[in-house]
Each structure stands twice: as structure tokens, then as C-alpha cells.
Amino acid sequence: MRLSRYFLPVLKENPAEAQIVSHRLMLRAGMIKQASAGIYSWLPLGFKVLRRIENIVHEEQARAGHMAMLMPTIQSADLWRESGRYDAYGDEMLRITDRGGRDMLFTPTAEELITDIFRAHVSSYKDLPLTMYQIQWKFRDEIRPRFGVMRGREFLMKDGYNFDLSKEDALHAYNRHLVSYLRTYERMGLQAIPMRADSGPIGGDDTHEFLVLAETGESEVFYDSAVTDLTFGDRDIDFDDVAQCAAIMEEFTTRYARTDETHDEALFAEVPEERRRTARGIEVGQIFYFGTKYSEPLGATVQGSDGKPVPVHMGSHGIGVSRLLGAIIEASHDDKGIIWPEGVTPFHAGIVNLRQGDAEADVACQALYDSLTALGLEPLYDDRKEGAGSKFATMDLIGLPWRITVGPRGLKNGVVELTSRRSGTSEEMAPEEAVQRIAQIYAGIA
Amino acid sequence: MRLSRYFLPVLKENPAEAQIVSHRLMLRAGMIKQASAGIYSWLPLGFKVLRRIENIVHEEQARAGHMAMLMPTIQSADLWRESGRYDAYGDEMLRITDRGGRDMLFTPTAEELITDIFRAHVSSYKDLPLTMYQIQWKFRDEIRPRFGVMRGREFLMKDGYNFDLSKEDALHAYNRHLVSYLRTYERMGLQAIPMRADSGPIGGDDTHEFLVLAETGESEVFYDSAVTDLTFGDRDIDFDDVAQCAAIMEEFTTRYARTDETHDEALFAEVPEERRRTARGIEVGQIFYFGTKYSEPLGATVQGSDGKPVPVHMGSHGIGVSRLLGAIIEASHDDKGIIWPEGVTPFHAGIVNLRQGDAEADVACQALYDSLTALGLEPLYDDRKEGAGSKFATMDLIGLPWRITVGPRGLKNGVVELTSRRSGTSEEMAPEEAVQRIAQIYAGIA
């Protein structure tokens, strides 16, 4: 993409309404624009990152054997009356009356509707296990929406649901999701720590939240510093392997890590003092096992192998897709702007032409652009007639991890400059070498 | 994907509520399930096709130089009051009051919000031309929703908006969209004929609807049969080339083709009698040029090259993404079920194992599965212990364009059977040849 043709309305000033850095930087980098309180439009740059995150979630869900589907945003109140949550959910549920006078609502989550689909179509234990998920817009009518996309009213969420014959099978689904989520977050350049949490309005016995450590996090968290040494890495996982998933679950959840909701001072005191940490965290996902909480009231049973009806054991699992943009920025930025991890960057590399209009510089930039594109990479080429300072400031603000700077002086020596946004270090090299280096970096993270 | 693990709730009986064939087949093939009147859940098979269609739209929009973004589903009534459409839109608008007592609505289209984004960020003629689009869920509270996803209340739509300095520039945007849409529909295996239409609540002077001919179409259409001989094919388009886009516009819209709304008997009579056709059509898209209808009331002006403010010229352009599934099925099915065009098929090929459990047949099927997957294709492997008749019936119903049948008898002679869903013809060949044939077919349509 050429910047001269791209809609990138960067702001020079810090917007007054933004209290936290991710909100400020998303507005300044022209990624989002508020439409109403807690409701945002996603401008082209923001939308590109949103799609990258969505795609990682889809790929990792497919890898774990889960099936993508989609449920509507507007749902009938009747189903929610069957589960008892229509009244229980409170004012955060956006309630709607349609032209026929029917009570409807904007989905804040979808346990009822997925259970309704299940009970209509699945009747035998032979059809289990079954896990389906969606990435769909949700609405929660927060009384005080704030922090940009971190606590918006309309937000994009991945919500998945497992149906199993027994508690044991459902706990494997729980572990499988935990493993899959660890990998998902790492691909986004995030360390998200599973912490024992409270189940809230979803209900159930077992639940872990995934938290990204950041000063601006909404939750106070307490943990053994050894949990931050764990990395998922490039493990070869068989998601049907019960023992393998259980072992990873144990590896990542045995050490103390809890939110303030479930914090236990006595247990925490057992952690060696030099490893006890108190910090703040941003919740980016949560997994639940809640057994038959929805299957019983909604009558979601299957015929067991003995012919008798059994209510299915369920769990649900969420990833805050739109919120993740805020969380990633909170965890990865500096004074100049965003620093995108390679896994989610909107463009793979920026090309800065220091002398737009200079024939040699223009040709060299175009050649770099074409070479990167031919390798399946997406560059953003700053082809505007602006000074170097302004071009660097824009690139730093929008946070592309790699920048190639092209100027007449370097070209005389046959070199361009490759700069890492994260380290700030630059290296001179031949244009074709810069292209190869960038290609290698992205090949390593695919 | 192995069918034994896939959620594919096919129905044996014809659902009583479905009046048209696409609705019937989408329910029978387990693609959708009604959640409320005119509101559907997309089950895994339906969602896969929806994504394929979405991806084609994204790819073709990018090719035409348009930028993807996303606007929220829930919008404030205030903007719609500025344009005068809040009252004018009528009962089809789903009106909502949030917990703070503010008037909101579920977006039926987004001219107001995109214009608001534009006026906030664009101030100079140098930033034009600009075209942005989204693929987002819309809601229209139809009094009598019917025909499944063809006339639902919650539906997925691509809506794009162009901003130009002059009428002339905006008309190039209009032509560019027409060209881009022709290519988009052809990739989906559809012939969609641009017809002069009525602008309805969007307003404006120039508008064309794209119609797919089908007996169940909601519109009566009148056309010169010569328009159905036109194909877009594999043309090399420069979307910045004003003359090239105008010439294609002329080629595809000069001959008589109108919906009943704009039909003119006298003009139609000038078409040679043997080429005059009356038929029914399904609307799958529409493009509009409406000049300053929204930019003037909303104050969306730019500074012209003479320094004076100029209201921008706009148009909007829609593709009915979810409705397209119905339209494709109406245009492509037989008594046995759906026949997916290769461009949108949920799986590229089916593999039917005639003797599940037979060691040789199982190994051969798995080898085919692995070979197709290694080539980037997605097979659906019917690995259930069912009879051949039931397996063929399922494959025919869900409409995968190619099927490989594997049985012990053929394997003795080193062959499998490759069957075309469309022609029904089968050919015996070595397994590796079947894989190569399928790979070639899909390479040709990418």
C-alpha cells in the first residue's frame, strides 16, 4: 500500500478523552474512531490488525479441532428465559423490542443459543465430543465505558462451547482449550498467564482467566514469578492426547497465579518470598467448565451407550478479540508509539523514501515494494512529499516492526538502511539483502 | 475434515416452512438453523461458504484499490437525525434505547456514519479520491421475513462508499465498482446482470442493480438476450484507467436490461423481438451515485485547489453477502441437492470410502486426503460406517463439485472413481491422477 493513497488519519495531539496509552495510541495512529460512547469504528489500519488477530484465532481453533460457525447478534429473549438468565443478567444486557412487539436482545454471550442448536440436532453419545466456536460482535451496556476498545460496549469476541458425555471428557476439552489459548496468545507476541479466577455470570466450578501483565490492567494479580519463565514455544501437540494436554495444563497452572477475586493470602505465603509478585493484569480470555448448568434447564441430553438420556457436560471459552489490540499495545509500546509484534503487525515493513521525486530513490523504493510483495509480504510505502522527520515519526507511531529507509546518499553506495522498531538499531545493507532479512523474519513466525 | 467428526446435521425430510429451493436445501444440508423469524445461525458448512464469499469480496475490493474498515452495528440516532433519515426510514429500522436512555439503532446501512468519519478527518482535495468499504451485519426489521437468508432480518452485507471531488470523478468510481462487481460475481460462478434500477431510500440519480436470473427471483426483469452472452472473463484491468472502466460499463449496460421499477415498454419494443426476454431475477448487489445528498446536510466538504470549500460527491455500493448463498443455490442445484461452483464450495472435494474398516480402502482414502491437503486443498472425507447409497446422497445434497469414490474392487485394479457433481459423469483413474485433476481444476479458478 502506498501511504499517499491510504486513509491513515494520524493525530498530532494527544486526544483529551484517552486516559490510557493504548487508547491514546489507537486514536493517534488513526486505527479507530469513536462512534458513540464505548462504540468504535475500525479505520483501515485498525481493521487490518483486527483481521490478523481474528485469523490467528481461527487457525489455532482449527488446529485444536474446533469448528467455526456463527450465531446472530440479535436473539430472542425466550431462550434466555428458559435458562433463567434473562432476568439475572441485569442492565448490561441490551434489550430490544422488535416491530412485532417481541422481546429481543443483543447477544452478550451465547450459551443458550448454542445449547438450543445442540438439542435440536444431536441425540446420541456417538456424536460427541463436539466443540464449536464463533467470532462475533457482542454488546454489553457498560454504565461507564472507557479505555477505548479495552472496555467498550460493542466488542468482538471469540466464544466457543464444548459438549461432552462426561465430566472427564469435558475436562479434557477444558485442558485442550488452555493449551490452544497458550499457543494463540504467543503467536500474537503476548505472554498471557492462566490464573485461577471467579466464574461470574457464566457460572461453573472450574475457570481460568488469561492475563497479560500491564500497569494499566483492571485486575490486581498475585503470582509466583516462576510462571513468567514458562513459554509455550514450538511444541508439537496432539490435541486428542488427553495426557499431553493434562500435563501442559499442570505445567502452566500449578504455580500460584490468581486474580484478586480468588487470591488466598495463606497459599500465596507458601511461595518463596523472592518469587512473590503483585502486579496488574489485563484479562484477554477465560475458559469455563460448568457441567450441566445449561444442558439441564434447556434439556440438552443425549442417549448414552446404555440407551438412557444423559445431560451433556459443557464448558465455554472466550477470547477478547477487539480488546486484544489494546492489550498488545499496553504491553508493547514506547514514547514514540506502538511496537507491533510481527505476528499481528498491519504491514510487514515500512519503506521510507527520503527524497520522493528523486528518480533513483523512487525506482529503488518501488523495487523494494515489488520484491516484498512478490514474497507474499505487505509493505507500507511512504511515498508522500514530506520531510524525513515527519515520515519517521509516522512510522514510529504506527509501529511497523521493520523499516527500510532509502535515500540518494545510501544508494550511491548501493545500500539502504534496515531499522528495527523494537531495538531502534539500524544496519546498512544492499536492498536485496534487506528484503531477504525481512522475509526470513516472517518465515520464522508463520 | 473427517465427516465422523464434523457437525453436519443433514435433514432427511423437506422442512415444511421452506417455500423456495435454496431455503430448503440450506436447511437440509445443515448449513443454517433459524434462531428467530428471519434470523439465522450459520452452522459449520454454511459458515464455510459465507467465509469463501466474504474472501472473494475482500480480494476483489483490494484489487480495485478500496480499503477495508468496519463500522459498529449499534449507532446513535443523532447522526441519522442530521441526514433526516431517522424519521424517513420507517419501521424497518430496528430502534433501540440504551440504559442511559439514548436513542440508538441497528445499522441498516451506513452512509451517515462513514460521512461523519470523513468530515472529521479529511479536509483537502489532495486526500481524494477515497473509497472505503466494510462487510458487516445489518438489520432490517422486515414485517414478513421469508425465503431463508434471501430475505432475512439480520444479514451480512458489503457496503462501500466513495468520496470524490467532482461528479466526473465520482462517476469513475461508479464505473470502477461496476467492473469490480462483474468480476466478483463471476468468481462465485454467477452471472449477475447490471440493470437500470430505482434508487429507493438511498437516493440519487444513477443506480444499477445486479440481478441473477432465477425462477424464484423477487423482481420481474426485462432484457435483451444479448446481455446474457457477455462474460467478464480474465481481463487485465487497470482500475485507475478511466477510459477502460467506462468502456466496460458501456459494454455491459448499453443493451436493454431493466427491473419492473424502471421498465419502459416503448424502449423495450426497440429490441429485436427474438431477443426480448421477460424473466425473474434475484438482486445480489446495487451501486449508487448520489452526489452531495449526504455530504451537504452533514457538512462533508473539502478545500478545493482554489481554497474554497466543496461538498464531496459520493456514491455507495452494496453486495448482499449472506443473500448470495441463497442466490447461488437458486441458480445451481438439481433434484438431489446443491451444486457448488468451484469458487465458493465449502470443501474442494469429497472422498467416499465404500468399505470403511477395510484396511486397504482406509489407507487409500487417507493417502488421498493427505495428498489433497498437502496441495492446499480441503477435502471432506466420509469415513462413517454407512452404506454407499447414504454416503452418495449426503455428498450430492451438500453439493461438493468433485467426489472421489474409493472401494476394494477398484483398488484391486489400482483405480478410484472421480465424479463431477454437475455432469454426474464418473471416470476411473489412478488415485494420484485424481488428485492432480482436482488440483488443476482449482488452480484454474484461483
Render pLDDT for B337-387 as a digit per residue (tens, 0 to 9): 999 999 999 999 999 999 999 999 999 999 999 999 999 999 999 999 999
Q: Residue A76: closest CA among chain B residues belongs to which residue? A: B36
Stated as kind and residue range, the H or E segment containing A436 is: helix A431-445
Lowest mean pLDDT among A61-65, A115-119, A144-148, A277-281: A144-148
**pLDDT beyond 80 at A264:** yes
Q: Which three cell numbers stand for residue A184?
A: 494463540
CB distance B44–A122 less than 8 Å? no
d(CA B23, CA B67) in angstroms, rounded, equals 33
Q: Which of A71, A94, A99 sits opposite B35 (nearest CB)?
A: A71
Given CB atoms, is A39 within the 8 Å cutoff of chain B?
Answer: yes
Asked whether residue B342 is assigned to any structural domain, the reply reads no
CB distance A36–B132 less than 8 Å? no
d(CA B69, CA B136) in angstroms, rounded, equals 10
Stated as kind and residue range, the H or E segment containing B76 is: strand B74-76
d(CA B47, CA A62) in angstroms, rounded, equals 14
d(CA A56, CA A59) in angstroms, rounded, equals 5
CB distance B98–A102 less than 8 Å? no
Three-class DSSP category at B58: helix
Dihedral of CA atoms A338, A342, A344, A349 in degrees, nearest 10, equals 70
Asked whether residue A356 is assigned to any structural domain, the reply reads yes
Q: Which of B72, B91, B137 sits opposite A35 (nearest CB)?
A: B72
Residues of A in contact with B385 (CB under 8 A): none
Do residues A52 and A346 lie in contact, with contact meaning Cβ atoms separated by under 8 Å?
A: yes
Residues of A in contact with B39 (CB under 8 A): 72, 74-75
**Could you read off the pLDDT of B166-196 as tens digits, one per residue?**
999 999 999 999 999 999 999 999 999 999 9
The residues that bridge with B139 in the sheet, in sequence order, are B154
Given CB atoms, is A106 within the 8 Å cutoff of chain B?
Answer: yes
The dihedrals phi and psi of A79, each to the nearest 5 degrees, come to: -60, -40
Last residue of a domain, one of B337, B365, B398: B337
Of residues A306, A4, A325, the one with CA closest to residue A149 = A325
CA distance A332 to chain B (A): 24
CA distance A382 to chain B (A): 14
Neighbour-count burial of B26, counting CB atoms closer than 10 A to its CB (0-12 exposed, 13-18 middle, 19+ buried): buried
Read off the pLDDT band of B63 (50, 70, 90).
very high
Claim to verify: residue A317 and residue A356 sit in the same structural domain: no
User: Could you tell me where the beta strands, DSSP code E, fall in B231-359?
Assistant: 257-259, 276-291, 301-303, 309-311, 313-320, 333-334, 337-338, 349-353
d(CA B367, CA B444) in angstroms, rounded, equals 24
Position B257, amino acid: A
Asked whether residue A67 is assigned to any structural domain, the reply reads yes
Do residues A25 and A150 lie in contact, with contact meaning Cβ atoms separated by under 8 Å?
A: no
Total number of domains in chain A: 2
Asked whether residue B142 is assigned to any structural domain, the reply reads yes
Percent of chain B scoring above 90 in pLDDT: 93
Asked whether residue B76 is assigned to any structural domain, the reply reads yes
* Residue found under cell 478410484: B416
Claim to verify: residue A401 and residue A306 sit in the same structural domain: no
CB distance A74–B94 less than 8 Å? yes
Asked whether residue A64 is assigned to any structural domain, the reply reads yes
How many A-B residue pairs are in contact by the CB < 8 A criterion?
A: 147
Residues of A in contact with B36 (CB under 8 A): 72, 74-76, 102, 104
Last residue of a domain, one of B292, B315, B337: B337
Mean pLDDT of B31-52: 98
Q: Which three cell numbers stand for residue B356?
A: 470403511
What is the layout of strands, in order, in the sheet containing B379-382?
B379-382, B349-353, B402-406, B416-420, B426-429
CATH number of the domain that A290 lies in?
Answer: 3.30.930.10
d(CA B420, CA A215) in angstroms, rounded, equals 60
Asked whether residue A47 is assigned to any structural domain, the reply reads yes
Read off the pLDDT band of A444 (50, 70, 90).
confident
Given CB atoms, is B47 within the 8 Å cutoff of chain A?
Answer: yes
Asked whether residue A342 is assigned to any structural domain, the reply reads no
**pLDDT beyond 80 at A203:** no
In the prediction, which pLDDT does A110 show? Answer: 95
In the prediction, which pLDDT does B203 show? Answer: 64
DSSP string, B101-134: --EEEE-S--HHHHHHHHHHH--BGGG-SEEEEE
- Classify each residue of B346-365 as buried b or exposed e, where b means 16 or more C-beta atoms within 10 Å of its C-beta: bbbbbbbbbbbebeebeebb
The residues that bridge with A406 in the sheet, in sequence order, are A353
Interface of A with B in 238-257 (CB under 8 A): none
Q: Count other Cβ atoms within 10 Å, centred on residue A428.
A: 14
Given CB atoms, is A294 within the 8 Å cutoff of chain B?
Answer: no
Claim to verify: residue A324 and residue A425 sit in the same structural domain: no
DSSP string, A318-344: EEEHHHHHHHHHHHSEETTEE---TTT
Claim to verify: residue B86 and residue B156 sit in the same structural domain: yes
Claim to verify: residue B198 and residue B245 sit in the same structural domain: yes
In the prediction, which pLDDT does B444 show? Answer: 84
Given CB atoms, is A311 within the 8 Å cutoff of chain B?
Answer: no
Given CB atoms, is B99 within the 8 Å cutoff of chain A?
Answer: yes
**Cα separations in angstroms, B260 against B87, B166, B250, B276:** 28, 31, 21, 14
Furthest CA-CA distance within chain B: 82
Claim to verify: residue B85 and residue B28 sit in the same structural domain: yes
In the prediction, which pLDDT does B204 show? Answer: 65
Percent of chain A scoring above 90 in pLDDT: 93
In the prediction, which pLDDT does A201 show? Answer: 67
Claim to verify: residue A392 and residue A246 sit in the same structural domain: no
Interface test with B, best of A5, A96, A164, A302 (most B CBs within 10 A): A96
Q: Which three cell numbers stand for residue A99?
A: 416491530
Relative orientation angle of helices A431-445 and A359-374, to the nearest 10 degrees: 30
CA distance A269 to chain B (A): 43
CB distance A74–B5 less than 8 Å? no
**pLDDT beyond 80 at A205:** no
Interface test with A, best of B2, B32, B121, B128 (most A CBs within 10 A): B121
Neighbour-count burial of B231, counting CB atoms closer than 10 A to its CB (0-12 exposed, 13-18 middle, 19+ buried): exposed
Claim to verify: residue B57 and residue B84 sit in the same structural domain: yes
R_g (Cα) of chain B, nearest Å:
24
**pLDDT beyond 80 at A240:** yes
The range of the structural domain enclosing residue B434 comes to 347-445
CB distance A67–B6 less than 8 Å? yes
Claim to verify: residue A287 and residue A413 sit in the same structural domain: no
**Could you read off the pLDDT of B198-251 as tens digits, one per residue?**
777 666 668 999 999 999 898 999 999 999 999 999 999 999 999 999 999 999
In the DSSP assignment, the letter for residue B340 is: -
Q: Which of B42, B46, B70 sits opposite A42 (nearest CB)?
A: B70
d(CA A130, CA B43) in angstroms, rounded, equals 13
Claim to verify: residue A332 and residue A351 sit in the same structural domain: no
CB distance B39–A75 less than 8 Å? yes
Interface of B with A in 3-22 (CB under 8 A): 5-7, 9
- Classify each residue of B279-291 as buried b or exposed e, where b means 16 or more C-beta atoms within 10 Å of its C-beta: bbbbbbbbbbbbb
Sign of the Cα torsion B210, B215, B218, B224 reads positive
Read off the pLDDT band of A446 (50, 70, 90).
low
In the prediction, which pLDDT does B445 show? Answer: 80
* Residue found under cell 508493547: A332
Three-class DSSP category at B200: helix
Claim to verify: residue B298 and residue B213 sit in the same structural domain: yes
Interface of B with A in 136-175 (CB under 8 A): 137, 139, 141, 143, 153-154
Do residues A20 and A40 lie in contact, with contact meaning Cβ atoms separated by under 8 Å?
A: no
Last residue of a domain, one of B279, B307, B337: B337
In the prediction, which pLDDT does A141 show? Answer: 96
CA distance A290 to chain B (A): 22
d(CA B45, CA B346) in angstroms, rounded, equals 6
Claim to verify: residue A38 and residue A165 sit in the same structural domain: yes
**pLDDT beyond 90 at A79:** yes
In the prediction, which pLDDT does A108 show? Answer: 96
CATH number of the domain that B399 lies in?
Answer: 3.40.50.800
Q: Residue A30: closest CA among chain B residues belongs to which residue? A: B121
Q: Which of A35, A94, A116 sits opposite B76 (nearest CB)?
A: A35
Do residues A361 and A411 lie in contact, with contact meaning Cβ atoms separated by under 8 Å?
A: yes
d(CA A413, CA A431) in angstroms, rounded, equals 11
In the prediction, which pLDDT does B315 show? Answer: 95
R_g (Cα) of chain A, nearest Å:
24
Interface test with A, best of B61, B98, B158 (most A CBs within 10 A): B98
d(CA A170, CA A245) in angstroms, rounded, equals 13
**Could you read off the pLDDT of A16-36 as tens digits, one per residue?**
889 999 999 999 999 999 999
Residue B250: partners with Cβ closer than 8 Å, 6 or more residues away = none
d(CA A194, CA A253) in angstroms, rounded, equals 7
Do residues B165 and B297 lie in contact, with contact meaning Cβ atoms separated by under 8 Å?
A: no
d(CA A133, CA A147) in angstroms, rounded, equals 27
The residues that bridge with A337 in the sheet, in sequence order, are A334
User: ipTM > 0.85?
Assistant: yes
d(CA A418, CA A427) in angstroms, rounded, equals 5
Stated as kind and residue range, the H or E segment containing A252 is: helix A242-253
Do residues A154 and A139 lie in contact, with contact meaning Cβ atoms separated by under 8 Å?
A: yes
**pLDDT beyond 90 at B60:** yes
d(CA B411, CA B417) in angstroms, rounded, equals 10
